[in-house]
Amino acid sequence: MNYYIIIPTYNEEKFISLTLQSLVEQTVLPSKVVVVNDGSTDKTEEIVKSFVEKYSYISLVNKSSDAIHLPGSKVIQAFQKGLETLDDNYDILAKLDADLIFPNNYFETIINHFKSDEQIGMVGGFCYVEKNGEWILENLTDKDHIRGALKSYRKETFKQIGGLKPQMGWDTVDELLCKFYDWKIVTDENLHVKHLKPTGASYDKTARYKQGEAFYTLGYGFLITAIASLKLAMRKGKPLLFIDYIKGFLKAKKDKKPLLVTKEQAKFIKNYRWKKMKEKLF
Least Cα distance to 151 among 96, 81, 86, 99 occurs for 96
Identify the weakest region by mean pLDDT among 14-18, 20-24, 94-98, 227-231. 227-231
Q: How many CB atoms lie within 10 A of CB 229?
A: 22
Please check whether residue 117 is in contact with residue 30, taking contact to mean a CB–CB distance below 8 angstroms: no
The reported pLDDT for the residue numbered 204 is: 57
CA distance 102 to 30: 13
pLDDT digits (tens, 9 = 90+) for 97-107: 999 999 999 99
pTM of the model: 0.87
Average pLDDT over residues 154-160: 98
Q: Which residues contact 192 (CB under 8 A, 6 or more apart)?
A: 103, 125, 126, 128, 135
As a whole-number percent, the residues of the chain with pLDDT over 90 amount to 66
pLDDT at position 210: 84
pLDDT at 185 over 80: yes
Q: What is the C-alpha to C-alpha distance for residues 128 and 153, in angstroms, rounded to an integer?
A: 21
Report whether pLDDT(254) > 70. Answer: yes
pLDDT tens digits, 100-133: 999 999 999 999 999 999 999 999 999 999 988 8
CA distance 132 to 135: 8
pLDDT in tens, 31-79: 999 999 998 999 999 999 999 999 999 999 998 865 555 556 789 999 9
Altogether, the residues listed in the chain come to a count of: 282
Q: DSSP letter string over the chain?
A: --EEEEEEESS-TTTHHHHHHHHHT-SS--SEEEEEEES-SSSHHHHHHHHHHH-TTEEEEEE---S---TTHHHHHHHHHHHTT--S--SEEEEE-SSEE--TTHHHHHHHHHHH-TTEEEEEEEEEEEETTEEEE--SS-TTS--TTEEEEEHHHHHHTTS--SSTTHHHHHHHHHHHTT-EEEEEEEEEEEESS-TTTT--HHHHHHHHHHHHHTT--HHHHHHHHHHHHHHTT-TTHHHHHHHHHHHHHHTTPPPSS-HHHHHHHHHHHHHHHHHHH-
pLDDT on residue 239 = 87
- CA-atom Rg of the chain in angstroms: 18
Arithmetic mean of pLDDT, 228-240: 85
Mention every residue, 6+ apart, whose C-beta is less than 8 A from residue 45: 37, 60, 62
